[in-house]
Structure 1
Amino acid sequence: MDLAHRHGEISVRRWRSVAREALLVIDMLGDFLAPEGSLFIGAAAAGVERAVAGEIARAREQRRPVVYICDRHRPDDAEFAMFSPHCIAASPGAEVVPALKPQPGDLVVPKRRYSAFYGTDLDLSLREKGIDKLILTGVCTNICVLYTAADARMRGYEVEVVREAVASFDPAAHEFALQEMEKTLGVRVR
């Protein structure tokens, strides 16, 4: 089978890695990080963007796969009953912020729900590559990062969350989620 097949939007050619771990970059999108974004996380945006950029650079240097998890909703998505419309497919708010754009060989996984595993082939893609440890970065700590961490642990992955590379628009919920991941899910928070 030709590994140059398309997954999401980026070719997965060269995605094989000797590392058994992958970096997940969760929802580093315009609607969360740009001041005009519909769910802008506020003052935490600049710091989390810098920290995630550092994690991406380290992963590339160590030849670890970088996986972009991208919220992508339909205009009439049921989630908009709870949160204002955001990350609508093909809108600028659904795009990865320019400083963190995926590169050829990165995996891009669009999702419609909180967990990166729900309704996607993320688990299959990771297992095909022999990945058994995930390093999580991105937003929002108490929503998509938390539920992705929970689903990953339930699937048997070792999970690590980089404290400086996750953020939320709700600081109290951010701290609660970090504690919940560490104490209940057995996630290493560093």
Structure 2
Amino acid sequence: MKKALLVIDYTYDFVATDGKLTCGEPGQALDGKITTLIEQFLVENEMVVFANDLHEENDPYHPETQLFPPHNIRGTNGRNLYGQVGETYQVHKEEVLWLDKTRYSAFAGTNLAILLQERRIAEIHLVGVCTDICILHTAVDAYNLGISTVIYANGVASFDAAGHEWALRHFEYTLGAKVIK
């Protein structure tokens, strides 16, 4: 079965200590695991997608403007990939796909579903941040599209520990995703 690894929002603003909406140390601890998975998927000739939040400065119409501080603003360092993941992207950027997203889900308003369908990919593997926001909404959309989903418990993190734990249970018991612990 063809599969794809989706690295979601592993950017400076979401992961670095001084990021604008950081999950801090829990997110930073994922760097090695995510890097290993990227390299594994590339060696196996599987698809790797970097799905990253994109916001415009002072956008009064985006719903997140009222919910969160400005983050992942176009043209800022906050959109750069964090740590080893960023270094790995630079080495392999011709082999992977960068996907800008403007909503929580990597599917909402993007061509991700079409790209997966074209490649006959029926299973996605999710890593990145935040477990209970963008990972969750991507997993829900995958469920609704009939795409099997695998979540790496040690490959996702959040700034909300209770939300993180809730989402891991929700993936497995409500969405039928495989959670690798």
Q: Deviations over 1:40-60 (max 9, x none)?
A: 112212211121111112111
Write the distance in 1 (CA, Å) between the matches of 2:68 and 2:76: 17
- 1:45-102 residue CA offsets vs partner (Å, 9 max, x unmatched): 2211121111112111211111010000111133121011100111110121252133
2:66 maps to what in 1?
Answer: 81
Residues 1:37 and 2:19 are matched in the alignment: yes
Which residue of structure 2 aligns with residue 146 of structure 1?
136
Q: Which has the higher helix share?
A: 2
- Distance in 2, matches of 1:63 and 1:171, equals 34
Matches within 5 A, 1:86-165: 86-101=71-86, 102=89, 103-165=93-155
Q: Secondary structure at the match of 1:85?
A: coil
Unaligned segments of structure 1, at least 5 residues: 1-18
Return 148-157 or 95-104, whichever deviates more.
95-104
* Separation (CA, whole Å) in 2 of partners of 1:36 and 1:175: 24
SS in structure 2 of the partner of residue 123 of structure 1: helix
C-alpha root-mean-square deviation of aligned residues, in Å? Answer: 1.1
Query: Corresponding residue for 2:44?
Result: 62
Corresponding letter in the other structure for 1:41 = C
Distance in 1, matches of 2:34 and 2:67, equals: 27
- Structure 2 unaligned runs (5+)? none
- Hey, what's the Cα distance between the residues in 2 that align with 1:128 and 1:94? 28
Aligned-partner residue type, residue 26 of structure 1: I
In structure 2, distance between residues paired with 1:46 and 1:74: 25
Paired AA for residue 77 in structure 2: P
Residue 168 of structure 2 corresponds to residue 172 of structure 1: no
State the 4+ residue runs in structure 1 displaced beyond 2 angstroms.
none
In 2: Cα distance, 1:107 partner to 1:170 partner: 29
Q: Say if 2:16 and 2:28, in contact at 8 Å, map to a contact too.
A: no
The CA distance in 1 between the partners of 2:13 and 2:33, in whole Å, is 18
Aligned counterparts of 1:136 and 1:97: Cα–Cα separation in 2: 17
The 1-side partners of 2:75 and 2:83 are apart by 15
